[in-house]
Amino acid sequence: MTDNPFDDLGSISEDDTSSPDQVPEDDDQPAEDGIGAATEPAEDTSVDAATGESAPDESSPTNGPAFPYDDVTQRPLYAREAAWNAFEDALEIEVEQTLREHGVRDAAGRELHDAALRVAAEHPEAIADRLLELRGVDVNR
C-alpha cells in the first residue's frame, strides 16, 4: 500500500463514471456557489384512513412547485455575505413560515428566488434608494 490516497481510483470502471457533459434534465441540486440550493421533499403518497383517498391532492395549489425546473435559467447573484445571509434568513424563516400557514410545505428554492426577483422588479425605486443609501447619497435633498 502506498501513501497516495488516489491509488484506488484506477479501479473505477468506465460504467461507474459519467461524462461531465451528462447532466440530468431534472437535476434540482444546488449549484457550486449555493445559489438556488433547495431540495424538494419526496411526495407523500399515503392514504387517508378516514376517507380512503390518497394524499396529497395534486390539483391543489399548495402541492408541488409553481413551475417545472426546466423553466428556470440559473443566473449568478453577487452579494456580500451579510446581505446574502439576511436574504436566506428572510426566505427560510419569514417567507416559509407564511407559506406553511397557508399549507405550502414544499416550496422549492427556484420558486422562492423567482418570487423574490419578481418583487424586486415591481419595486425598482426601493432598489435604487437602497443602493444610494449604501453609497452614502442623501436621497432627500
Rounded to two decimals, the pTM is 0.53
Number of domains, the chain: 1
Cis peptide bond upstream of 61, omega within 30: no
**With left for phi above 0 and alpha for psi between -120 and 50, is residue 13 left, alpha or beta?**
beta
Cell of 51: 376517507
Domain assignment present for residue 117? The answer is yes
Residue 1: per-residue pLDDT = 56
Residue 137: per-residue pLDDT = 96
Helix segments in 44-108, DSSP class H? 81-89, 96-101
Residue 67: per-residue pLDDT = 74
Per residue in 24-79, pLDDT (tens digit) is 444 444 444 444 444 444 444 444 555 555 444 556 667 778 778 888 888 888 99
Domain assignment present for residue 105? The answer is yes
Domain assignment present for residue 125? The answer is yes
Three-class SS of residue 118?
helix
Using the predicted structure, report yes or no on whether residue 21 has a pLDDT greater than 50.
Answer: no
Q: Cα–Cα distances in Å, from 38 out to 67, 109, 133?
A: 14, 5, 32
For residue 28, give the nearest of 96, 107, 87 by alpha carbon: 107
Domain assignment present for residue 40? The answer is no
Domain assignment present for residue 90? The answer is yes
**Range of 85's domain?**
81-133
